[in-house]
Structure 1
C-alpha cells in the first residue's frame, strides 16, 4: 500500500512536513504548491518533489493525489478543506481550522458529507511526554484528576506583522493548550475565565493583542485547569504540564539538550530548555504525520479530528469573550458544538 501526497504551502511548517513524510517508505510526496514558487526549484529537486505549482488547485485536480497537507495561512484553511473534501482527498490541516467557529463548522460539514479523513495539526498530542501523562490519567494511576496545570511560554515574540494576522494569542498560541487540556483530561471544558496583559512589548498591545495570559478552566467532570502563556521566556521554550489527582500527580518537565546536572559549592547547574519549538517537538511532528498516514492506509480514526479542532476554537472564543467582559464564560454561551 502506498500514499501519494500534495503539500499546500511551502513555508517553514510545510517544508517540515515534506521532510517528515519522506521518512515514511509508503509515502510519495508528488506535489508542492505555494503562491511564491520560483525560489523552490533547488529545494524541490533535493527533496524529490516532482511538481511545483503556484496554484493549489493543481494538486486537488490531480487524480494521483490521495491526501493533502494544508500549510497555507489560516484564512485559507476552511476554503481549501472544503475544496479538497469535494475532490475526495484526505486532509491534514494545520491549526486552527479557521478564525471563526461558524466557518470551521461549515468546513467540517463538507468533510462529513464526503467521508474523507481530516486530521488537525495539534502536534503536542503526539509528544511522548504528554502522551504518557494522558495514559496515566486514563488508566487511573493518579486517581480522579482534580487539577491540570499547563505552562506554555515562547522564547521570543513573533513579528508584529504576524501578530496582526494571527487571530490573537488565544487562537494562535494558547489554542494548543486548550486542545491539550481536553486531550489530557478526557473531559470537555464547560467554562472559561481569562486574564490578559501586555507586559512583553507595547507594540503587541498597539496591534490589538496581549502577550501574557492566565486562563482557568472548568471541566465537565468537575476538575479544574490553569493555563499560563507568555510570548517571551528569556531562558528558552518553556513547556510544562502537571495533573494532580486523588491518588497522586504526574508531571512533564521541559526538554533540555542533556539531563546532566552539575552541583558545586557555588551553584547547581543544568541546561536551559530547548529554545525553538521545532527542536522541542521534533518527535511529535514526526509521529503526527506517521499516524495520519497510518489512519488512511489502515482506515482507522485520526487521533486529532476536525471536532477536536472545533472544540479548541470554541474554548479560544470563550477566553476572548471572558477577557473582553471580565466575567467567566460558559462554552454553551459562545457557540453550541455541532453534532459532527
Structure 2
C-alpha cells in the first residue's frame, strides 16, 4: 500500500520533495498540497489550506516545508490528528517551543522526522560507515567546512533566526552524527564581513565554532555566507587509526594543465545541485520508517540538540566565552 502524503509549502524544498515523491518513490503518493501562493499549486493534485490538508482523512503523513515560524504549530496539529510528519529544520527558533511540541508528538505517538538531509549524502554516509566500522579508530577531531556561494535576501535573513540557526545547524547535526557523541561545550567567534544584505539584516556571515564532546574530542566548523567559487562542502574525520575526508562535488573531474599551472571545475553551485540525491534518500527513509513502523533515522530529539548547539553558539558570540551544555539545557559559564 502506498503511503498517502500531503505537502505544506511548495517553495524550493517543497518542490524537491513533491517531485521526488511523485516520480521517484512508488511506495508513496502525494494526495494533497497546500501553499499560501496558489500559483505554486500543481494542476493535477488536490489542494487546500493547511488545516484542511492536516485534517483530511486520506492524508496519512504530512511533509512540512513552510516558513520556520509555522513548523511547530503544524507539527502539533498533525500529531493531534494522528498524522506522521516530515518537517524541514529547524522545528522552531525557541527551545521552549520545541520542547512543548515534542511533548505533543510523544503524547500522540506519531513519527516525526527532521530534514537534516546531509546525513543522507552518499559521501558523508561512507565516511560515517568508516567511523562505525572502527577504521578511523578513536575519533579525536572532526573538521567541517560549509560555505554558501552568496547570502540570501534581506527578507529571508531577517526571518531565518541567524546564521547558526539557519545554516550552521546542519553542521551541528553532522558533527553529532559523525561522532556519535554528545557535545558538552560550545565556543564560537563570528563577524559580518561581506556587507550588503547581511549587514542590512544585522546578521553575521562568517563564523568558526569549536565543539568539545563528552570525552574531550572536538569538532571545528567554519562557515561563510559568501564563497565566490561555489558551494563549499568538505568534511574530515581524524582518529587514532587514520583519517578520512570528503571533498567538494564538481560537475566534472577534468584537470587542465599548461605552462602557467593547473585548473579544474569549480564546486557545484548550490545546495539543490550538491544534495540532490540526499533529498531523495532521506524521503525514502521517512516513508520506509512510517510504513515499517520503525523509528525514523533523524528524530525530534536530534532537532532539539542541533538547535541547542545553535543557541549556545549565539550566546558564546554575544558573551565571548564558552557555553556549557548539560543534558537538554544550555548553561552559561
Q: Which bin holds the TM-score, normalised by the shorter protein?
A: over 0.9
Distance (Å, rounded) in 1 between the aligned partners of 2:102 and 2:279 = 23
Is it true that 1:134 corresponds to 2:135 in the alignment?
A: no
Structure 2's unaligned 5+ residue stretches are none
Q: Residue 281 of structure 2 aligns with which residue?
A: 287
Per-residue Cα deviation, 1:153-177 (whole angstroms, up to 9, x for no partner): 0000001111110000000000000
Distance (Å, rounded) in 2 between the aligned partners of 1:125 and 1:31 = 28
Q: Which moved more, 1:258-267 or 1:163-172?
A: 258-267
Say if 2:192 and 2:204, in contact at 8 Å, map to a contact too: yes
Distance (Å, rounded) in 2 between the aligned partners of 1:217 and 1:20 = 35
Per-residue Cα deviation, 1:133-158 (whole angstroms, up to 9, x for no partner): 11111111011011110000000000
Q: Residue 13 of structure 1 aligns with which residue?
A: 13
Distance (Å, rounded) in 1 between the aligned partners of 2:312 and 2:327 = 8
How many angstroms does 1:20 deviate by? 0.7
Q: Residue 27 of structure 1 aligns with which residue?
A: 28
Distance (Å, rounded) in 2 between the aligned partners of 1:225 and 1:295 = 30
Distance (Å, rounded) in 1 between the aligned partners of 2:274 and 2:248 = 9
Is it true that 1:315 corresponds to 2:316 in the alignment?
A: no
How many angstroms does 1:4 deviate by? 0.5
Q: Which moved more, 1:229-238 or 1:295-304?
A: 295-304
How many angstroms does 1:109 deviate by? 0.6
Per-residue Cα deviation, 1:188-242 (whole angstroms, up to 9, x for no partner): 1110001000111154234221010000000113211110000000000000000
Distance (Å, rounded) in 2 between the aligned partners of 1:330 and 1:317 = 11
Say if 1:101 and 1:335, in contact at 8 Å, map to a contact too: no
Q: CA, structure 1 residues 112+336, in 2 after alignment: closer, same or farther (shift >3 Å)?
A: farther
Q: Which moved more, 1:99-108 or 1:324-333?
A: 324-333
Distance (Å, rounded) in 1 between the aligned partners of 2:15 and 2:327 = 39
Within-5 A mapping of 1:120-269: 120-201=114-195, 203-269=197-263
DSSP 3-state at the match of 2:244:
strand
Per-residue Cα deviation, 1:109-134 (whole angstroms, up to 9, x for no partner): 11111111000001000000111111
Distance (Å, rounded) in 2 between the aligned partners of 1:330 and 1:76 = 29
Q: Residue 4 of structure 2 aligns with which residue?
A: 4
Is it true that 1:71 corresponds to 2:72 in the alignment?
A: no
Q: Which moved more, 1:4-13 or 1:206-215?
A: 206-215
The alignment's TM-score, normalised by the length of structure 2, stands at: 0.96
Which residue of 89, 95, 113 corresponds with 2:89?
95
Per-residue Cα deviation, 1:226-261 (whole angstroms, up to 9, x for no partner): 100000000000000001101100000000001222
Aligned length: 330
Q: Which moved more, 1:252-261 or 1:328-337?
A: 328-337
How many angstroms does 1:27 deviate by? 1.2
Is it true that 1:108 corresponds to 2:102 in the alignment?
A: yes
Within-5 A mapping of 1:325-340: 325-332=319-326, 335=329
DSSP 3-state at the match of 1:331:
strand
The alignment's TM-score, normalised by the length of structure 1, stands at: 0.94
